[in-house]
Structure 1
Amino acid sequence: MKKKILGGVFGILLVMSIFSAIGIADEKNDDFKIFARDIFYAYNAYDEGGMSEGPISFPSDDPGNVTLLAPTSSGDFIAGACWANGTWYGCEYSSSGSNSNIWTIDPSTGSMTLVGASGSTQTLNGLAYDPTTDTMYACGSTVLYTIDMNSGSASVVGAMGNAGVMIGIACDANGNLYGLDLADEGLYSINKTTGSATLIGSTGLSLNYAQDMAFDKDNNILYLAAFIYPIKGGATIELAPSGQRYFGGLYTCNVSDASVTLIGVFGVTEVTGFAIPYTLNSPPDTPVLPSGPTTVITGTEYSFSTNTTDPDGDDIYYMFDWGDGSNTTWLGPYPSGAIVTTNHSWNEAGIYNITVKAKDVNNAESEWSPSLQITAINMFTFYLFQGWNLITIPVENNYTASSLLADIPGCTIILKWNASVADFDLYAPGVPNDFPIEDGVGYLVGISSDTLFNVSGMPIESVAVPLYIGWNMLGWFNEEPVNASLIYTKILGCSIVLKWNASVADFDLYVPGASDFLINQGDGFLVAVNQESIWNGDP
């Protein structure tokens, strides 16, 4: 006698992947592709051909090829099922209308082990497992529950508000919960926090009696183990057993609109307890801290490396975020555990944090790696001539006159104009008159032969150089050059601007009416003023 559904879904389905050739489910459904031939597991609640009630298995692309694993051990049939943490769980239909039992089933032998009575207020029709929260859910006809997987105890989440009889539920790999209602033949999305169910659409099937649903979490496909009565006609009749007006069929169901595709028929068989085992893809582990230099020169490429492993052994893509608004996009794939190296340069000086994310070939992404903090500094090159050169150090530095003299090839003497006493401070080897090299200040350096001198550091943001009446020696540290005429205009009381031209060993001079000239980054210059003020480095 067929199992009438008073409030639930019935079954357990387990999937054991058997890697095989990709095929088409049926000539009449040649638009539907089976990803691989899987073995699905379920429960035979009723079979008109006389097969005993109990756990069964069948190929995903040939659902009529049913194998009975073992006669049932439960007092009533297994209405709903799911696969959770490597175990096949089922809920037993309760003729009393409440307190369904929870079972586990061995997919190899079909043997059943009682977990415990649920204490549910309705008979349980379906089970579903959410791998994102390690939570098992069950449904009665109108109530959503959670299930303690150790004891089988049920806790009410809330009323679903569905049309009548939620016959089955299933959860995808991302934690989205769905239900199938027997009364309106509709697919619902279910809020796991409140239990509220929202209709997605009608399956268009004449659903009746016992049935179930399950997700292939590896391939993100929702399957229905449906029982159809009465048959509505069309292609469905062609696939039904000869002379029958009802049958069990395996369908896929589109979760966007509830449309279904028939894969094949079970026969005149009510398949419940439908649960599909899975091997959920795991994301790669978080990449290790990127390795590479922590101080870099702007405009110069540097190499940075990282690696990680994938728990499933999948190949891995990497994305480096450089902290300057740019990234590499996805690089790879590379073998799990392989060290990955890529290059980058920064255009502006500053402090940046490099992080890396990984994803496997199935697009499962890791967390971002710990950040490697790097400092990008500017490099400046002086072209110095034999004799005197008037310069300023255009980056932040810790130089003194003695250390600067030591760094400049062929440097023999450094002079600093001390405007407060209108005289030079002098440093040369053997002269105990060292002094700090200040930002925004110009210095005369004596060179024994033409040479190059490189200096690097963070950009100077601002200065505060006191100007005294008379001559003052300043330094232009900004990247953009400035006209002497603008310096003349902006500095209060300025009457003359001089820049030493080392190539001709003479001064370029600007006063109103004279030829203008550029003062470039790294140039020192002299200004004569008739009033005291503070120069902030502005033009």
Structure 2
Amino acid sequence: ADANTDKIYKINPNNGGIVPGDSFGSPGKLPQGLAWDGEYLWNVDSYEKEIYKIDSSNGDVLQTIPCLVDDPTGLAFGNDYLWLADNDDDKIYMINPSNGKIVGSKDSPGTDPQGLAWNGEKLLNADARYDKIYIVDVDDIILEENNPPSEPIINGPSNGKPGEKYSFTFKAIDPDEGDEIYYYIEWGDDDYTGWLGPHNSGESITKSHTWEERESFTIRAKAKDQDGEESGWATKSISFPRDRANTIAILSQIFERFPLLEKMAI
């Protein structure tokens, strides 16, 4: 990746030359580290503060995730995670490639961490200040604490008529930056949605349901983040009272058969 020309070049490893016809423009304005996951190329841009998943055959961006560090430099892919060097706080971060969330971190060996590479078991980190390449063990990575999302807030009607469709909104917030949320809804009549998502934290979703019986139902909903941490259940009731005319008709039939009941009711 060349920050001066904003291009990504394919290099011949035998002679260091640029392979003709295989360069393309970088997605951002200041490309830094590159990583290869075995199928796709990844590039972090220190100006846009984003990490791009790229089809190396044509330069198309397949996915964009946020870069949550201040001064990203080196990038590597290993053990199903991205590894990112931050020159601002001299740390190496373990990144979830699906959403950019920081999973863990450790101090870099030097004070000017730059390039990163994965050798199959460990990281290699080049440090510009000490002109050294360090072999970095990641077994002692300090994992970030993962917090569950809040219980969903459920908004919608409290009364209705059987056979009609009613809509409800569900919203939960996850305290961990970058976490996405899934929702699970039970409608109280043995029907349920399964996990719905992912959705952004704090984003309301709308779901509709139809009840057929004249009674009260309790809607239950919970949320989870992409790491599987679940919230508690939130509840909301909706009632479908009996039709007054039908009730009067039924009572009249009962009183006709049992006149004493009518006198007792009076």
Structure number with greater Rg is: 1
Q: What TM-score, normalized to structure 1? A: 0.24
Q: What TM-score, normalized to structure 2? A: 0.47
